Copies of this chain bind each other. A is one copy, B any other.
């Protein structure tokens, strides 16, 4: 009985340690908040999901957000370009094929690196990349890289049903809106963002 209790406590401790300290370890890798390019790239490369927004065909042009997984690279090769694995069974891909205008919104909150700050508090960073959501040519080098990027971050994607005809899309960013502290959005050009070396 005592052995079981001790085992249970240790299992909980280890599980707990993993949960509580991942955020803590990640927080220690956060770039200086005044380095906008570094912060934006950190936010994008450490998150695995966000909300991808398109103009709805079915809802008369309404802005339609959808939870999606993404990846901007493979280990040690982050690009800042978000790649997606989408099917036209879902409205987002259908909307993008009709009108490319799109944005991807990511919060720092789920990384558990915001301390006690509310998700809407500027001390908890958020970023919106706005641009064009485009389908990649399935035979291109970029598509090969994007697939490796997606499958390494989201291993279960490899097994997703072939019948759903998933295709790889990317967001071509044209504008960046990022708040990572008080004082309004941080000035950051797309060039500065893409050029930054992680």
A20, chain B: closest CB distance, angstroms: 4
Q: Using a Cβ–Cβ cut-off of 8 Å, how many residues does chain A contribute to the interface with B?
A: 55
Query: In the assembly, what is the distance between CA of A119 and CA of B67, in Å?
Result: 7
Cβ-based interface call for A107 (8 A): yes
Residues from chain B with Cβ under 8 Å of A181 in the complex: none
* CB contact between A20 and one of B15, B118, B184 (< 8 Å): that residue: B15
Q: Knowing A19-B19, A105-B66 touch, does A157 contact B118 (C-beta < 8 A)?
A: yes
A101 engages B184 (CB within 8 Å)? no
Cβ-based interface call for A143 (8 A): no
Within 8 A of B (CB), among A37-67: 48-51, 53-56, 59, 61-67
Which segment, of A25-33, A74-82, A120-128, faces chain B?
A120-128
Chain copies in the assembled complex: 2
Cβ-based interface call for A147 (8 A): no
Residues from chain B with Cβ under 8 Å of A17 in the complex: 12, 16
Query: In the assembly, what is the distance between CA of A168 and CA of B144, in Å?
Result: 46
B13 engages A49 (CB within 8 Å)? no
B64 engages A128 (CB within 8 Å)? yes
A195, chain B: closest CB distance, angstroms: 22
Cβ-based interface call for A130 (8 A): yes
Cβ-based interface call for A136 (8 A): no
Candidate in A14, A19, A184 with the most chain B CB atoms within 10 angstroms: A19
Within 8 A of B (CB), among A71-109: 85, 89, 91, 101-107, 109
Q: Knowing A12-B16, A16-B20, A19-B16 touch, does A154 contact B120 (C-beta < 8 A)?
A: yes
A2, chain B: closest CB distance, angstroms: 17
Interface residues of chain A, those whose CB is within 8 Å of chain B, are 9, 12-21, 48-51, 53-56, 59, 61-69, 85, 89, 91, 101-107, 109-110, 117-121, 126, 128, 130, 154, 156-157, 175, 177, 184
